[in-house]
Amino acid sequence: KIKGKYSPQLRAFALTVNFYSPKAYNYIRNVFQNKLPAPSTIRSWYSYTKGSPGFTKEAVEILKRRSKAAGGKKLYTCLTMDEMAIRKQVQWNKTE
C-alpha cells in the first residue's frame, strides 16, 4: 500500500482503467498487491472537479485527438446537455 501522493502518471492510469472497467481495475490492483489507489480514493478524486460552466480542456483535447486520428474522414459527434438545479429551494426576501 502506498501512502501519500501518487504520481500524475499513476493517477491517470488508475482513473482511466477504473473508468473503462472497475472489475479490471480491481483485478490489476490485486495482482500488483494494492499498489494502486483504493476505489474510495478514486471516487474522492472524481469529487474534486471544477463545476464551472463550459467545456473542459480535457474534453476539447480528446476531440482534437480523435479528429486528427480520423485522418480526414468525417467524424460525427453528439453533444448532450442537461440542466442542473443550483438550489432546490428558493426563498424570496421582500426587503432585498
Give me the pLDDT at residue 50, please: 65
Tell me, yes or no, whether 8 lies in a domain. yes
Helices 22-31/8-20 angle, 10° precision: 130
Q: Taking residues 36-63, what's their average pLDDT?
A: 82
Residue 66: all three cell numbers together: 480523435
Answer whether residue 82 shows pLDDT above 90: no
Give me the pLDDT at residue 21, please: 94
Answer whether residue 41 shows pLDDT above 80: yes
Tell me, yes or no, whether 67 lies in a domain. no
Tell me, yes or no, whether 87 lies in a domain. no
Tell me, yes or no, whether 71 lies in a domain. no
Contact 29, 8 (CB under 8 A): no
Residue 34 domain boundaries: 1-50
Tell me, yes or no, whether 89 lies in a domain. no
CA distance 10 to 12: 5
Tell me, yes or no, whether 29 lies in a domain. yes
Give the chain's domain count: 1
Q: Which residues contact 70 (CB under 8 A, 6 or more apart)?
A: none
Tell me, yes or no, whether 63 lies in a domain. no
Q: Cα Rg for the chain, rounded, in angstroms? A: 20
Tell me, yes or no, whether 41 lies in a domain. yes
Contact 63, 77 (CB under 8 A): yes
- pTM of this prediction? 0.52
